[in-house]
Each structure stands twice: as structure tokens, then as C-alpha cells.
Structure 1
């Protein structure tokens, strides 16, 4: 198959470049950057991008805490926030949330009333963002934001049964969210609640068992919906498979090798790797956990010691009865990195630092070079270094994939207030876009263009639907694939609800010069793909198209 691909490339340059693409994974820690590029979108958006969610109208909802004082973005039309419980400003006429339009590279200020600091959320079936918890007067709030030209935040008081600060959300097959943990909360609850539910949270002893005194390390736990309908929950250095419907631990996984913590404030990151062979009798699922701070790093910073971050990534097939961790090393240690699933199933590891831990003034030595993790590569040769940014993205940074294949990157404020001078890592109000190698113009002849279906099509479970695509160069039908990706809620180095599925395709019929059509089978159930909007991508020789939106079911 590789030989066929290379022969069909149109020139020696493309042959050489594609050869490098296919075989660079065999070279450990290659420094080849694959022509990845950075673009400064805005020198300042007026606020720190601490939280970020892409909606199906191609707008990013971005927000920061409200209790540090003034931002650099004024609310329009004389609007001010009047909050008697705010600890800094009772009246504040600056914005702490905004809507960024990817297509036009513009943004507008949004009004959020209560403190959303270190909160959580998920996009639901109708495409709205449901955002939960926060700090102070926001700790029990539910906020919603609907995609429309003039929409604003809607807030509901006391909608959570306990305060939620540093909790994790996961969107469920039945359209609810489960909200797990948070500071001093060893429990979980659902939203919306069923009429029969009591007004107390459900206890989760696993969060007590993984709570480190002095550092906790069980905040923002990594949560993924497994293909059997249970939840994989990773906290500190351990994981369980949890039956949330019956409040029962189904199984316990081995401790991650080395025993170092990976959750906040030690702050590694994690992804559910692509789900494939969705029509098989049993679908396999794998989780990848990378980076973090070494045990004790949080306490040592108080003594001026910044321990080198962990350079290990551990991968586990959570559907195996005898699941074990497979460990490999990154080119450098990383803490507070974001892991972004790319349309072709690779993982971008971006942002963060090489020493220290999460928290104010607790990290040094920024990790300026992203990595791409080749999901299908062999152990020891999966990492490819990318071109560096010149902007440190430390504590409170974010990164989110958008439909054209770029990754929007923002944030960084390792200080209690906004500080722009006389500090090693100033508060960062800029917004950048990182373009992975597949967006390099040299791949234009390979890049597919989706002709059908139209964006925002409705697709039902197990439906077989037609797709047609075109490429500008030579079409290789055997090297086509289709993926769909749920856009996540990103904060504190974890992308909640991030989920990529590789769809089955039927026989490819060439219909013209470099055009073809084929049948695609949608995921068979809401357990595989909870109902919401997904980005659908066509891939040709591992190069993705721009995505379109589809709605499941």
C-alpha cells in the first residue's frame, strides 16, 4: 500500500515529503517539524483564555475567572456586573467571557454574572454549552450558552446539589451530564436530574482513596465513556471502570507505572484514542495518559525547588480483561500540556512547562515545542517534534481543534492577578493558531474536499449515508477514511468529552476525474456516540479535509 501511494505522488518533492511522513515514526524523537506553522490571530483578546469550547456555528466560547479584577475587554452598551459577593470588585464593567468567530477572526464580549473560575462543562444534544460550577458565588450555578448571533449566558442559581470547583463533566448517552468530584467533593451528580433523584450527591469513595494530603491530585479527574457504557475514571495514579447507573465499581485497573500522580495539580493530560471497527462484536478502547508532575513537586516549589516534569506516556487498552499499561518516553518532560485529538487520529501535545507543577508561580521552563503522537506508530517511535511558538503557555492555557484542522491556542496566567511586567511569564492575552503538518500547502493535491453531505446534516444511529469527495491530485480510493470528532470542553490541560470515531466505509466508486462517492456507516448507538454535534472529516492518505458538522442522532 505504501508503494502504491508513493508512486502516485506527482513529483519527486511530494514523494520525498510523503516518504518522510510515513517513515519518520521509525526514528525516535525526530526533530523534523513537518512544516507545522504558527499564526498570531490576535495580540490581545482582552482576557485570559482559561476555558474554551467550540460550538457548531464555528464560534469558540472563551472565559476566565471573574474575581481577579478588571480584564482588558470592556462590556458593550454600558453593561456592568454588580456582584456584592465578589472579593475584589463589587461593580465591574469589563468582560470575562467572549465569543470568537473562527471564520472572521473577530470576537464579541459576553456577559457572565457569577464566577466561572476552574469550572467544567459539555456541549449537549442541541449544541448548547452547559457549564457547571466555579468559585464563590458561581460554585453551584448552571450556565447555558446557545449558538446564535446575539445569544448571551443564561444562569440558574443553586442548580447543583453541592459546590463544584475543579470537577470533571462527561456527556452521557441519555443526554445528561455526570459531574464528578471537585475540591473537597468526593462524589458525583447529574444534570439535568431525574424527578426521582434525591437532592444529595452520590458518594464516590475512589476520590477519597486518591486524595493526597497537601496536594490532592484528584481534581479534574480524567473521565471517558467506555464502549460498554461504563465510565473510565482516572484520578491521581489509579483508574476504575465505574457503572454510574448502578453506583458500582466494575473493575480496578493497575496503578500507572512509577506511581506518580497525573491529575491536578500534578496536571498531566489524557485522551481516549480513536474508536475503530465500530461494527465489530466487541469494540476496543484505549486511553493515553501523558506527562504530569512528580510526586511531591507541589510541596517542593514552596522551597524554591522545581522538579523536572514527567516525560512518560502510558497507554492502556481499557477493554482488555487483563489490561496493562504500556509506557514510553516523550522527548522532554511536560506538565500542564493539552492533548488535542487531530482529525487523522494523531494526538497533538501542546502548551505547558518542563519543570514544576500547576498553580500560581509553580512552574518554570516553558514547553514551547508541541509534539505529535502517532497513534498507530510503534513503541519508541511515536513522537514527532513540531515547530516552537515564541509565547509561553503556562498555567491556565487552552487548545482546541477547529473545523479547518487548525488548533486555536490561548491563555496563560500563572499569577493571582493580571501581571504584564516584572515577571518571568507575563499574563498572556493573545490568541494563536497552530497548523499541523497536514495543512502544509505541499499536501494540497492530497487533501479531500467534501462535496456531500451538506454541513449540519442529521444522521441517525447505524444509518448508512452517502458521501462524495474530490481531490485536486491523484485519487487513491484504498487510502480513504472518515472520522467524526466531538468538540470538547477544554480547561486545565484536560479536554472533557473529546471523542474521535473512525467510521466504516463501503466500496469507493470513482465518479469522475479525482472524485468519488461511497457509503458510510454511522456509529450504532449513543454509547459509542452520545447525541450531539460532531465534526465529520474525510481523509485521503492521512490528510484530512476541512470538516463539516453532523448531528447525532
Structure 2
């Protein structure tokens, strides 16, 4: 690489970093707005739910009771379901497995109804998918990744003790999964349950907080749930939040209500993230919640009055002795947006509408431009607006972070049944990817490439990895981050988590390659067991993620 090219690249990076600390909502230019790419005009189903697995394949599924999809089950297979409200015999698929590396997909067979269900990945790497509607409301479904084309769903229809429709899942430090709430279910339970009927963990546990925070329809749907570094759960419902000790079924603390008291959970459908936990300094836990719809917006939309969504965001550092919400405003009001942690630790807010709320025909004015938020930026200049997708993503859309740093986006089914014609926003079966600005070609000289890393990282134990980078600037601009992939549905990225690992040191091996030493998560409360994407981030530019297992 010539010295002139290195100089030009360095100058471009300096200009880039100057830009992101001195601009507010001006769009990026020359590759800095990000780029969209259509992957498939149709994968046969609408991507209501998505989960990335450790082999870089994505389980995608819709509900089963909307009639035939646009992709057939293989080998003449059909689904026979006397409980189905649309088709008793259905020879089409309602789930697919998308291969990121080959940009291909194949149909999967799911039997029970997955509408508005929840999920989490077990420590062993299997997707544990829970609840749904009708004959699926007590079901547990397991999808275990394999290298062959024989992997498919395995279902346990009556496993759950309560009806779990619009519930939320969270992986726990001991590897169990907690399943919280659901339609008129003000309680929680665990998977796997203790098969001893006299054991406390074999049934459900009442949670008064969910009853107290229910909406005007007597529901409390898809509460926001995050595992905190102290082992307790942060649970947010509409405007209120608590810290829950689930082992003792005890509320440890109730936090102040979020200001600007618009409800944030379904159908008002804001979104939330647990901001990155940094092990290089004193451990802090901070929640960010953005968007939503004003109180009464659901009823108003039903009468044809589409109220403007909320543009407010709140940050709450729950680890503070006296936590207080700090409020900011997004450049674009948004309901049904998905908040995802990018590989850099920045937050992308994507999908949704500017008016209305979640529900059939209840959203208007699609927001097709994502927004990137930099949590550590100057408070006055944290938001940047990205380039627009040509595809509206309304009710029942979803998005997930991929190991290559892109954001996979799909879905949008704002009508009852598959409605492709004579409507303003047709059901959408496409799949597309958004490449954030850090994937722009101008940053190639600063992009690290991981050469080798241990596949298994132990809690609190040091490990080494080697990486290559054409133009290395400084150890002060280097970090190692692990990201737990989310189960995303209905504006909620369940189990999403980023830990910035403690960096011990860096040494040069050759002119372009380096070895660093870092330390695995200090506790299972900070990094629960399971599979993560590991990124090396240099000068704000991430590597592709390598899969590692925390145990």
C-alpha cells in the first residue's frame, strides 16, 4: 500500500471522526449514510420473528393461521391441523432457514401456531421458541442448528404451564430461560422446568407488577426485560420499571416512571436496549428506551385518526444509587422501531412508522430511514440519519445484527391474512440488508481481520487472539466486544447483549499483524453462558464477528 494512499485513508478517518462529534442529524455523505441491498424479493413468508444462530443461519418464521404462504413444504409434506382457523390442511411453509453466507434459504416445518411468540438461544446453541396463539400458546419448539439440510423444528405442544402469547424471554446466568407475561398472564415461568411437580420451578410465579401496569385492554404485552450485572432482571412495562429478584420472587427496587408518560410497550411499541457493559471500568448498567405512541393512539387509529408517534428517548442508569431518567429526542418520531446494538456499540433504530400504532391497518407514514445513535457522543450531537430503504416496514417487521456487521431486515404484514393487492401497504415477503457506515470501503485500511481466536472463552480467564490490520493507529482505539444475537419480534430484541471485554495488552507480531490479550466476562451475570459474536473494533471500525462460546 503506497504512503500516499495511507495518508489519504488516515485523513478520511480523521474527517469521519470529526464529523460524528460535530454533526447532529445531518445525513452521512459519500458512503456515510450506509447502504441498502435487496437480498430476496420474496422468501415466501413475512419475517415476523428472526433469530441468528451460531452457524450464520437465520431462523425466520411467521404465524401459521394466515392461509397458504408463498413457499411449499418439501417432499409433498403437508401440515394437518384441525385447530387451524384458516386451513386444516396446509402444504406451505411458515418458517424458513436463511443462510447468510450463501444467500439462500429453505423451508422448515412448524406445526403449532407461532403468532406473537417469544424465544431465546440455549447455552448449547439451540433456539428455544415459546408460546404463540391457539394450539401454540402452551408450546415449546426447539431448532438445533446442524451442517446438513435435515435440521427442522421439534415441538412440545403442552409444555408450558400458562398461555404465553406476547410474552418475553430472557436467558439467565444458570442457563435457564425465564418466560415473562403474555396476554392476561401476570406471571412468569422457567424453561426447562423442574419435572418434580412439588418443585417451585415446575409452575408459574405471580408478578403483581404486571397486573398493576396493564393497559386499557387489561393486558401487559411484550414487557422489556434485561438481565442486569447484579443478576436481577430489569422489567419495563408501559411507563414503569422494576428490578426483580426472580430467585426469591421479590421486587428489589422500583425505578421512577419514564417522563413524557407515553406508553412504550405493545401496541404502543417503542423499543429498548441494555447499553454495552464495559469491563474496562466500573461496571454500570444503563437502559435506553425510544419511541412509542401516545396513550389512546390505538383507539384513535381504529377511528381513522393516526396520532404522531413519540420522538422521545430515555436513558436510565439503573446501577446508580438514585437512578433518574435522562431524556433526549430522536430526529424522527417512530413507533414499531427496532433498536439494535451495532458491532461498534452504537445503537441503530430501524423500521416502523411515524403515525399510528401497532395493529392491523393502524400505522401510517412509514419511516424508511434508520437512525444511528452514539451513546458516548456529545449529548447534543448523538443522532445521525441514514439512507432510506425503498421498502416500508410496518407491523410485523423485524431486524437482527449479523456477524458480518450488516443488519438483516424483513417482514411487514400490516393486514389480516396475506394481502398483496388493493392496499396502501401490501404484505411484504422480501429480505434486505443494511450496511452501516463502518462497512464503507473508505474504512478498509483500518478494518481488523481476526486471524485466530479460541472458540471457547472461560469466565474471568484471559485469552489471546491474533488479528491483521493494514493501518494500525493506537491501542487506545482498540476494543474487544462480544454480542449475544437477539430474538427479534414486535420491536423487541430479546436477549440482545454486548460486553466490552477487559483488554490486557497488545503486541505486534509482524508489520501488519498483532496479538491481543483480553479477559472473558467476569461473571455469568455479565456474560451468561452461550454463543456470542466476538468483534475486534479498531478506530471505530469493526472486524467481522467470530463465534465464541462462553462457559
TM superposition score category, shorter chain reference? over 0.9
Q: CA deviation at 1:344?
A: 0.8
Q: CA deviation at 1:277?
A: 2.4
Distance in 1 of aligned mates of 2:353 and 2:218: 18
Q: Is the 8 A contact 2:9 2:445 kept in 1?
A: no
Query: In the TM superposition, what whole-angstrom CA distance separates every residue of 1:432-472 from its partner, at most 9, and x where no partner exists?
Result: 01000000011000000011215xx1111111011111112
Q: Is 1:458 the equivalent of 2:461?
A: no
Residue of structure 2 in register with 1:201 after alignment: 204
Distance in 2 of aligned mates of 1:13 and 1:313: 35
Q: Is 1:495 the equivalent of 2:498?
A: no
Q: CA deviation at 1:14?
A: 4.7
Task: Classify the secondary structure of the residue corresponding to 2:348.
Answer: strand
Check 1:392–1:414 CA distance in 2 against 1; reply closer, same or farther (3 A cut): same
Residue of structure 2 in register with 1:167 after alignment: 167
User: Cα RMSD (Å) of the superposition?
Assistant: 1.5
Query: In the TM superposition, what whole-angstrom CA distance separates every residue of 1:90-114 from its partner, at most 9, and x where no partner exists?
Result: 0000000010000000001000000
Q: Is 1:47 the equivalent of 2:54?
A: no
Residue of structure 2 in register with 1:272 after alignment: 274
Residue of structure 1 in register with 2:66 after alignment: 68
Query: In the TM superposition, what whole-angstrom CA distance separates every residue of 1:113-137 from its partner, at most 9, and x where no partner exists?
Result: 0000000010011100000000000
Counterparts of 1:123-272 in structure 2 under 5 Å?
Answer: 123-148=121-146, 149=148, 150-194=150-194, 195=196, 196-197=199-200, 199-214=202-217, 216=219, 218-272=220-274
- The 10-residue stretch of structure 1 (50-59 or 467-476) with the greater mean CA deviation from structure 2: 467-476
Residue of structure 2 in register with 1:4 after alignment: none
Residue of structure 2 in register with 1:112 after alignment: 110
Q: Is the 8 A contact 1:508 1:516 kept in 2?
A: yes
Q: CA deviation at 1:13?
A: 5.9
Task: Classify the secondary structure of the residue corresponding to 2:93.
Answer: coil
Check 1:498–1:333 CA distance in 2 against 1; reply closer, same or farther (3 A cut): same
Task: Classify the secondary structure of the residue corresponding to 1:73.
Answer: coil
Query: In the TM superposition, what whole-angstrom CA distance separates every residue of 1:517-553 from its partner, at most 9, and x where no partner exists?
Result: 1211010111111100000000110100001000011
Count of residue correspondences: 542
Residue of structure 2 in register with 1:23 after alignment: 19
User: Which of 470, 474, 484 is the equivalent residue of 1:472?
Assistant: 470
- The 10-residue stretch of structure 1 (266-275 or 373-382) with the greater mean CA deviation from structure 2: 373-382
Check 1:522–1:307 CA distance in 2 against 1; reply closer, same or farther (3 A cut): same
Q: Is the 8 A contact 2:279 2:499 kept in 1?
A: no
Distance in 1 of aligned mates of 2:12 and 2:535: 26
Q: CA deviation at 1:504?
A: 1.1
Task: Classify the secondary structure of the residue corresponding to 1:10.
Answer: helix
Distance in 1 of aligned mates of 2:201 and 2:67: 38
Task: Classify the secondary structure of the residue corresponding to 2:434.
Answer: strand
Check 1:475–1:27 CA distance in 2 against 1; reply closer, same or farther (3 A cut): closer
Distance in 2 of aligned mates of 1:442 and 1:198: 53
Distance in 1 of aligned mates of 2:104 and 2:13: 35
Counterparts of 1:309-388 in structure 2 under 5 Å?
Answer: 309-388=309-388
Distance in 1 of aligned mates of 2:418 and 2:325: 40
Distance in 2 of aligned mates of 1:510 and 1:205: 56
User: Which of 503, 506, 517 is the equivalent residue of 2:504?
Assistant: 506
Task: Classify the secondary structure of the residue corresponding to 1:11.
Answer: helix
Q: Is the 8 A contact 1:286 1:319 kept in 2?
A: yes
Task: Classify the secondary structure of the residue corresponding to 2:85.
Answer: coil
- The 10-residue stretch of structure 1 (377-386 or 482-491) with the greater mean CA deviation from structure 2: 377-386
Task: Classify the secondary structure of the residue corresponding to 1:506.
Answer: strand
Task: Classify the secondary structure of the residue corresponding to 1:20.
Answer: helix
Q: Is the 8 A contact 1:25 1:384 kept in 2?
A: no
Task: Classify the secondary structure of the residue corresponding to 1:86.
Answer: coil
Task: Classify the secondary structure of the residue corresponding to 1:25.
Answer: helix
Q: Is the 8 A contact 2:13 2:443 kept in 1?
A: no
Distance in 2 of aligned mates of 1:11 and 1:409: 36
Task: Classify the secondary structure of the residue corresponding to 1:144.
Answer: strand
Q: CA deviation at 1:512?
A: 1.2
Q: Is the 8 A contact 1:395 1:413 kept in 2?
A: yes
Distance in 2 of aligned mates of 1:494 and 1:186: 19
Q: CA deviation at 1:510?
A: 1.2
Distance in 2 of aligned mates of 1:368 and 1:452: 38
Query: In the TM superposition, what whole-angstrom CA distance separates every residue of 1:40-64 from its partner, at most 9, and x where no partner exists?
Result: 0001000000000000010000000
Q: Is the 8 A contact 1:53 1:490 kept in 2?
A: yes
Q: Is the 8 A contact 2:239 2:261 kept in 1?
A: yes
Q: Is the 8 A contact 2:193 2:202 kept in 1?
A: no
Q: Is the 8 A contact 2:189 2:201 kept in 1?
A: no
Distance in 2 of aligned mates of 1:239 and 1:175: 24
Residue of structure 1 in register with 2:533 after alignment: 535
Q: CA deviation at 1:16?
A: 3.9
Q: CA deviation at 1:378?
A: 2.2
- The 10-residue stretch of structure 1 (167-176 or 475-484) with the greater mean CA deviation from structure 2: 475-484
Distance in 1 of aligned mates of 2:13 and 2:26: 15
Q: CA deviation at 1:157?
A: 2.3
Query: In the TM superposition, what whole-angstrom CA distance separates every residue of 1:66-100 from its partner, at most 9, and x where no partner exists?
Result: 00100001000000000000011000000000100
Q: Is the 8 A contact 2:459 2:522 kept in 1?
A: yes
Residue of structure 2 in register with 1:32 after alignment: 28
Query: In the TM superposition, what whole-angstrom CA distance separates every residue of 1:312-353 from its partner, at most 9, and x where no partner exists?
Result: 110010111100000010111000000111111001110000
Unaligned 5+ runs, structure 1: 1-6
Q: CA deviation at 1:18?
A: 3.5
TM-score, structure 1 length as denominator? 0.96
